[in-house]
Amino acid sequence: MQWETVIGLEVHVQLATKSKIFSGSSTAFGAEPNTQASAVDLALPGTLPVPNEQAFRYAILFGLAINADINKRSVFERKNYFYPDLPKGYQTTQLDEPIVGPGVVDIELSDGSSKSVRIHHAHLEEDAGKSLHEDFHGMSGIDLNRAGTPLIEIVSEPDMRNSEEAVAFAKKLHGIVTSLGICDGEMSQGSMRFDVNISVRPKGQEEYGTRTETKNLNSFKFMERAIKLEVERQIDVIEDGGTIRQETRLYDADKDFSRAMRSKEEANDYRYFPCPDLLPVVFDDSYIEAIRKEMPELPDARKQRFVESYALSDYDASILAADAATASYFETAQAVSSDAKLSANWVMGELSGRLNSEELSIAQSPVEAKAMGELVLRVKDGTISSSGAKKVFNTLWESEGKSVDQIIDANGLKQVSDTGALEAIVDEVLANMADQIAQYQEADDKKRKKLMGGFMGPLMKASKGQGNPKLFNEILQRKLNN
Amino acid sequence: MSFSSDDIKNVAHLARLHVSDENADKLGADITNILTLVDQLQAVDTQGVEPMAHPMDAVQILRADDVTETNQRDKYQACAPETEEGLYLVPRVIE
């Protein structure tokens, strides 16, 4: 049987406000536990929430960016459930009257095609605190610093059909919210978290299968993996004659395994009702239009600009323009080096590889954009070879504060490009390589190419690694081929 | 609409309230009475009436995005049953 996967996403985006959604507590990441949890966040009796206007502005900005309807009137509800990191016993959220109505996000796929994913709505709500289950002699530890951090929850329609589409959608949202500056996009700090609804159905069947929800994925890689595992699991269950239970699942990245959470049947009875502490929030057209005027450049427009102003390929431009931090890094590097293509290669190659292997975001890169630009400039003007540049890059990565030129000088990486000096070295080296020269001259073109390496080694050695390899190659060709 | 003692127990469980069997029967009858009143309200034709989200006919005031709270952890934690390393300790919860 051929199966079709159906995927919908719920995406929690932490808004980059300074203070919480209903209190004046700081939202800064990484503070000592409970030092940013005030009386309102702790739900002490007698406290009243007062909403943060900036959270609404950010939500409206997002809605406008995806061409969604903005609801001029929105209402907060109480979603009731018990958990220790939710001190009020309910989450203040929106249900029937969310701030952002239906919209659309376009995604590009690796085969060059594109697809529209419909957004059902996006609503404002507060984040919960954090529960720590280890090391407290049988107790759980609760940190409420995160409680009350403003979130928008973006709910998609079930429009995605495989993990590639789901990841492309997630990345596109990441690009949009970081470009808008409404979220810092730091996935490792939980700034964006994904709940994935997955079901399978026989290909051609219209009706959806029973879905499961895998909660709280905080990286694109884990999301892709969790989807693949869950699709395989569901197909196995059905093909073995079983049925899928509607349930919430947790993916454990360390064990690469997902398990069902305890039955949510009862817990799903959230008994929503309008929050009596908060009045309806109302905006007029001129307020919304003023926000529209502040709309910064979005990834699609930026990609187009990169193709046009820097003559980058579609592929390069889409990667570099995808999120605000990468785009600004690239533009700084290219402004310093005045070489867009070479800057693009370094950002997407050496830098991105190293960031990935060390699981860092580009904002956390030890090599700053300006230094990267200086490095590219020195490759471009021939001061260093590409292998020398890799050494400079590694040194920049390990040791902060040194400039590219200082590193080049300190490590003797400057290439010798004086053709007279290089020619003298070539003559000296060739004088002792009569056998190899004879062998080379008897060889055909294809073999000659291979034999060149045998000359380059001694030349680089004789020049203490500082000879310009490109010029060495030219001189060699000239001397050997006549 | 009637409310059985099983309904009472379910709602009580969701709200983490302890309700004895005896009380469950009594509360079931009380709430059924209240719901009878609600049924009367339900009979009113409300076509074209916009649902109210709040009894006050007013609009929410918003605040500027400023950090106005300072760290008062020691005071808040003075009334907590148990704390450690700045965390509130609670009976172990694990999904």
Task: Annotate A250-319 with three-state secondary structure.
Answer: EEECCCCEEEECCCCCCCCCCCCEECCCCCCEECCHHHHHHHHHCCCCCHHHHHHHHHHHHCCCHHHHHH
Distance from CA of B42 to the nearest CA of A (A): 17
Q: Quick check: A34 and B10 CB within 8 A? A: no
Q: Quick check: A42 and B76 CB within 8 A? A: yes
Nearest to B91 by CA among A145, A35, A142: A142
Q: Quick check: B14 and A269 CB within 8 A? A: yes
Q: Are A58 and A154 in contact (CB under 8 A)?
A: no
Q: How far is CA A135 from the centre of its chain?
A: 32
Q: Are A250 and A213 in contact (CB under 8 A)?
A: no
* Identity of the highest mean pLDDT range in A210-224, A266-280, A444-458: A210-224
Query: Where is pLDDT greater, at A480 or A377?
Result: A377
Q: Residue A327: pLDDT above 60? A: yes
Per-residue pLDDT at B1? 67
The confidence band for A263, taking pLDDT boundaries of 50, 70 and 90, is low
- pLDDT tens readout for residues A430-451: 888 888 888 888 888 788 877 8
Mean pLDDT of chain A: 92
Q: What DSSP string runs through A104-138?
A: EEEEE-TTS-EEEEEEEEEEEEE---EEE-SSSTT
In order of their start, the domains of chain A are: 3-289 (no CATH), 297-410 (no CATH), 419-481 (1.10.10)
**Pick from B13, B89, B95: which is nearest to A261 by CB?**
B95
Residue B48: inside a domain: no
Counted across chains A and B, CB pairs separated by less than 8 A come out at 132
Range of the domain at B28: 5-42
Nearest CA in chain A to B16: A82
The confidence band for B61, taking pLDDT boundaries of 50, 70 and 90, is very high
Q: Are A15 and A58 in contact (CB under 8 A)?
A: yes
Q: Quick check: B67 and A51 CB within 8 A? A: no
Distance from CA of B68 to the nearest CA of A (A): 5
Q: What is the mean pLDDT of residues A47-76?
A: 97
Per-residue pLDDT at A161? 97
Distance from CA of B22 to the nearest CA of A (A): 23
Per-residue pLDDT at A121? 98
Q: Which residues contact A482 (CB under 8 A, 6 or more apart)?
A: none
Q: Which residues contact A170 (CB under 8 A, 6 or more apart)?
A: A9, A11, A192, A194, A220, A223
Tally of domains in chain B: 1
The confidence band for A236, taking pLDDT boundaries of 50, 70 and 90, is very high
Q: Which residues contact A210 (CB under 8 A, 6 or more apart)?
A: A199, A243, A244, A245, A246
- pLDDT tens readout for residues A156-174: 999 999 999 999 999 999 9
Residue B26: inside a domain: yes
Distance from CA of A289 to the nearest CA of B (A): 19
Residue B90: inside a domain: no
Nearest CA in chain B to A28: B67
E strand residue ranges, A127-244: 130-132, 139-143, 150-156, 192-202, 212-217
Q: Residue A266: pLDDT above 60? A: no
Distance from CA of A99 to the nearest CA of B (A): 14
Percentage of the residues of chain A whose pLDDT score is greater than 90: 71
Q: Which helix (H) or strand (E) holds A9?
A: strand A3-14
The confidence band for A334, taking pLDDT boundaries of 50, 70 and 90, is very high
Query: Where is pLDDT greater, at A400 or A19?
Result: A19
Q: Quick check: B60 and A279 CB within 8 A? A: yes
Q: Are B59 and A281 in contact (CB under 8 A)?
A: yes
Q: Residue A426: pLDDT above 90? A: no
First CA to last CA distance, chain A: 67
Nearest CA in chain B to A138: B92
**Pick from A80, A141, A250: which is nearest to B95 by CB?**
A250
Q: Residue B95: pLDDT above 70? A: no
Nearest to A385 by CA among A359, A411, A403: A411
Percentage of the residues of chain A whose pLDDT score is greater than 70: 98
Nearest to A76 by CA among A61, A58, A60, A90: A90
Distance from CA of B9 to the nearest CA of A (A): 12
Q: Quick check: A143 and B65 CB within 8 A? A: no
ipTM: 0.90
* Identity of the highest mean pLDDT range in A137-146, A386-395, A452-461: A137-146
Residue B82: inside a domain: no
Task: Identify the weakest region by mean pLDDT among A287-296, A332-341, B1-10, B11-20.
Answer: B1-10
The confidence band for A208, taking pLDDT boundaries of 50, 70 and 90, is very high
Residue B37: inside a domain: yes
Chain A, window 260-299: residues with a beta carbon less than 8 angstroms from a chain B beta carbon: 261-262, 266, 269, 271, 274, 276, 278-282
Residue B50: inside a domain: no
Chain B, window 52-91: residues with a beta carbon less than 8 angstroms from a chain A beta carbon: 53-54, 56, 58-69, 71-73, 76-77, 82, 84-91
Write out chain B residues lying below 8 Å of A61, CB-based: none
The confidence band for A454, taking pLDDT boundaries of 50, 70 and 90, is confident
Residue B27: inside a domain: yes
Q: Residue A413: pLDDT above 80? A: no
- pLDDT tens readout for residues B67-76: 999 999 999 9
Residue B44 in contact with partner chain A when CB distance is under 8 A: no
Q: Residue B11: pLDDT above 60? A: yes
The confidence band for A383, taking pLDDT boundaries of 50, 70 and 90, is confident
Write out chain A residues lying below 8 Å of B67, CB-based: 18-19, 24-26
- CATH at B33: 1.10.20
Q: Across-strand partners of A140?
A: B90
Residue B18: inside a domain: yes
Per-residue pLDDT at A262? 64
